[in-house]
Amino acid sequence: TDRAWDIGFGSVNAVQLSALVLSALKADAEAYLGVPVREAVITVPAYFGEHQRRATRAAAEIAGLEAERIVNEPTAAALAYGLHARDVERRVVVIDLGGGTFDVTVLEIIEGIVEIQATAGDVQLGGDDFVEAIFAAVVADDGVAPATEEVAARLREACQRLVRALSTAEQATTTAPPLPGDAGARSLTFARETAEALWEPLLARIAAIIRRALRDGAVLPGAIAEVLLVGGASRMPCLARTAHAIFGKAPNAALPPDEAVALGAAVQAALKARDASVADLVVTDIAPFTMGIATSLRQGAAYVSGLYSPILQRGTTIPASRVERYLPIAPGQRRLFVEVFQGENALCQDNAALGKVDVALPRGTVEEQAIDVRFTYDLNGIL
């Protein structure tokens, strides 16, 4: 995001804000361990794209850390689960609902090998959307928008308290800022049934993403032995019911929702350090997005441009490298602009642009001017 925040000593962007958080964590770790900390395993939503992963690495560098590994959050949760289930063979689904993102990962555990088979998600869907649904309903019921941004922020905080309380209670009450003309704070009361009716569109989106992950992994719901819910927002009973409706079984509550991803990151750090306690644990991950370039196709005497030519397919086990050969449009062409995209759509305009490379071509026939385009995904899911 290009958004900036004012936090007292100045304006910061998302990378700088993330760096502040990482710096604080680094200081805490050094105070506890009594030694300098220079490397880190950092987790990100599985559906983070190229720009977001690079921004995460940049934030680590600002904080004085080398991002030794960037791990998908559901993969980290799977590692935490696999640490204690190395002697079993089973397919598992990890459903990760955080504050601002949602990910689903299908994996298989075989004799200590955690193999990621499919992942799907939405970086614009998370617990904040459930809060926003309550907020919108309250504002609509009030008939008047909050007077200032500060009042709106306080009202959102009240709605967040309601959502958290409704995870364990059928009805919740909290204080909220007063309406214009009122003397003091007011009470807001919401029933879980009312809230869940507002959340139905969000739950439908979640169910669709879960089913997409199953399709991508060519796995039927009945083949899933365990369903794991992680992420702070996963405590909402409606999410467990949505998962139960798809898989026909209650989710496994073995992992603490708030800590599962961090525990998995610790396991990944132990793997990197070749710790003997995880010597028999192996994890393989996959590319979350297809990578390709823009091409043109001759139709009669003209060319249709902006067509997406995939090179490295989503779902490929990483690290991976793929190469394709391309020809220039016209004989004698001296330069070729290779535009790189990320996404699954047939037209480049519907995918995310990552950048372009200007390639000088030698003199010769079209065939002699052919170029090989190679894409390589590293273990961090970065091109």
Superfamily name with CATH number, domain 127-200: ATPase, substrate binding domain, subdomain 4 (3.90.640.10)
Burial class (CB in 10 A: 0-12, 13-18, 19+), 377: buried
The answer to whether residue 174 scores a pLDDT higher than 90 is yes
Taking only the tens place, the pLDDT of each residue in 115-150 is 999 999 998 999 999 999 999 999 998 887 887 888
Taking the model in full, what pTM does it have? 0.86
In Å, what is the CA distance from 193 to each residue of 125, 151, 152? 21, 27, 24
The predicted structure's pLDDT at residue 86: 67
* Second CATH level (architecture) for the domain 291-377: Sandwich (2.60)
Q: Give mean pLDDT, residues 246-255.
A: 90
In Å, what is the CA distance from 169 to each residue of 165, 166, 193, 251, 304? 6, 5, 11, 19, 58
The predicted structure's pLDDT at residue 369: 86
> Which phi and psi angles does 163 have, rounded to 5°?
-60, -45
Among the ranges 86-100, 109-123, 234-248, 324-338, which has the highest mean pLDDT value?
Answer: 234-248
Q: Give mean pLDDT, residues 191-196.
A: 96
Burial class (CB in 10 A: 0-12, 13-18, 19+), 286: buried
Taking only the tens place, the pLDDT of each residue in 55-80 is 999 999 999 999 999 999 999 998 88
Cα–Cα distance, 337 to 360 (Å, whole number)? 9
Alpha helices in 199-259 (DSSP H): 200-216, 237-247
SS3 323: strand
Asked if domains 127-200 and 291-377 share a fold, the reply is: no
Taking only the tens place, the pLDDT of each residue in 309-347 is 999 999 999 999 999 999 888 878 888 889 999 999 999
Q: Give mean pLDDT, residues 104-122.
A: 90
5 — pLDDT class (breaks 50, 70, 90):
confident
The answer to whether residue 190 scores a pLDDT higher than 90 is yes
Taking only the tens place, the pLDDT of each residue in 351-381 is 999 999 998 988 888 888 889 999 998 988 8
Taking only the tens place, the pLDDT of each residue in 266-296 is 999 999 888 888 888 888 899 988 999 999 9
Cα–Cα distance, 271 to 97 (Å, whole number)? 26
The answer to whether residue 84 scores a pLDDT higher than 80 is no
Domain segments of the chain as ranges? 127-200, 291-377
Q: Give mean pLDDT, residues 103-118.
A: 90
Cα–Cα distance, 169 to 167 (Å, whole number)? 6
